[in-house]
Amino acid sequence: MTELVAVDIGGTHARFALATIGEDGAVTLGEPATLHTKDHGSFQLAWQAFRDMNGGTLPDAVAMSVAGPVGNEVIKFTNNPWILRPAKIQEMLGPTRQTIINDFAAVAHAVACAHEDDFLHLTGPEGPLPTTGTLSVLGPGTGLGVAHLWKDGKGGYHVQATEGGHIDYAPLDLIEDAILARLRRRHNRVSVERVVSGPAIVDIYATLAAMEQKAIAEKTDVEIWTAAASGEDSMAVAAVDRFCLALGAAAGDYALAHGAGGVVIAGGLGYRIRETIQSSGFAERFRAKGRFSGLMATLPVKLITHPQPGLFGAAAAFAREHLL
């Protein structure tokens, strides 16, 4: 049995957990600790805080999922100000073995290793995900993560990280034209994650209010998501429904681009609005790909319900790199 620290660093939160990997590669996670990135001046300081929570000592191996490109001498996070130097990890933190992967590559590893019961059906054919070919994996959070997973049908798989959340956004109706016009006043180029991410709900909400010619109090993204969940603000409810349409369209686009046989939606935000996704126009937008609408209807779309796919997937990636 191998012990390690699993870490999942996003734009808003850094999650830590102790993990064990059995001789068969099975991953077991301990209770996760969630730290706010804004509360710690660097990753090293956050690591020290987690170490203090665990009596001052940690295992000498680490598996890290990071929100941004990996592979460079200096890793800069897409949506938080931390930086990470992989070559300095042993010197500064202590671990002698490490795995560092993109956050949605980690989620794709989790998709590959998760049990069938860890998936909620959203649309398309019922039944398990395909065991061969490509799956598109995406999820809105502070940004929009995208990866794809290829399975060989024999238990083997390969994960490809991408920066697919930064492709150009394509509006599909007059309302989305208005959202794009609003975003273009601040950004020279508008990517998909400007519309399909947690913070994007602010611009969707403001656009709908402007179209209704209603004055609204300025709200944060958290306040809008919360107001929509409670049903207390009809504009917020409409904004979340519009968000689900954009998510469905994007998921279909990635499936086409990847040649996918299925799609998995991931992330805490997707899980929190899972019932809204199912009752919204998500499925119709996913299928609405013109001459390929028939093909899109054959693709299963599911949501991974594992509570910590980033941590679980990072540990699974460590097992594949160092142990299996």
pLDDT-based confidence at 229, cuts 50/70/90? very high
Chain-wide mean pLDDT for the chain?
95
Q: What is the pLDDT of residues 32-41, one digit of tens each?
A: 999 999 999 9
Percent of the chain clearing pLDDT 90 (strictly above): 87
| Least confident range of 68-77, 161-170, 289-298 | 68-77
Compute the distance between CA of residue 208 and CA of residue 228 in angstroms, rounded to an integer.
14
**Which pLDDT does position 142 carry in this prediction?**
86
pLDDT above 90: residue 25? no
Query: What phi and psi values does residue 25 have, to the nearest 5 degrees?
Result: 90, 0
pLDDT above 90: residue 22? yes
Nearest to 135 by CA among 124, 308, 294, 170: 124
Compute the distance between CA of residue 265 and CA of residue 302 in angstroms, rounded to an integer.
6
pLDDT above 80: residue 18? yes
Lookup result for tokens 């929190």? 272
pLDDT-based confidence at 78, cuts 50/70/90? low
DSSP characters for 266-285? -SHHHHHTHHHHHHTTHHHH
pLDDT above 90: residue 79? no
**Which pLDDT does position 11 carry in this prediction?**
79
Are the C-beta atoms of residues 323 and 19 closer than 8 Å to each other? no
Quickly list H helices, the chain: 43-53, 89-93, 103-113, 174-184, 201-211, 221-230, 234-258, 268-272, 274-279, 282-287, 293-296, 309-322
Q: What is the pLDDT of residues 98-137, one digit of tens each?
A: 999 988 899 999 999 999 999 999 999 999 999 999 999 9
- How far does Cα 96 stand from its chain's mean position? 28
Q: What is the pLDDT of residues 143-169, one digit of tens each?
A: 999 999 999 999 899 999 899 999 999
**Which pLDDT does position 200 carry in this prediction?**
98
**Which pLDDT does position 236 carry in this prediction?**
97
Compute the distance between CA of residue 197 and CA of residue 34 in angstroms, rounded to an integer.
20
**Which pLDDT does position 138 carry in this prediction?**
96
The model carries a pTM of 0.91
Q: 10 Å Cβ neighbour count for 69?
A: 14
**Which pLDDT does position 155 carry in this prediction?**
87
Q: What type of residue sits at position 33?
A: A
pLDDT-based confidence at 291, cuts 50/70/90? very high
Q: What is the pLDDT of residues 208-225, one digit of tens each?
A: 999 999 988 889 999 999
Q: What is the pLDDT of residues 3-15, one digit of tens each?
A: 999 999 987 889 9
pLDDT above 90: residue 67? no
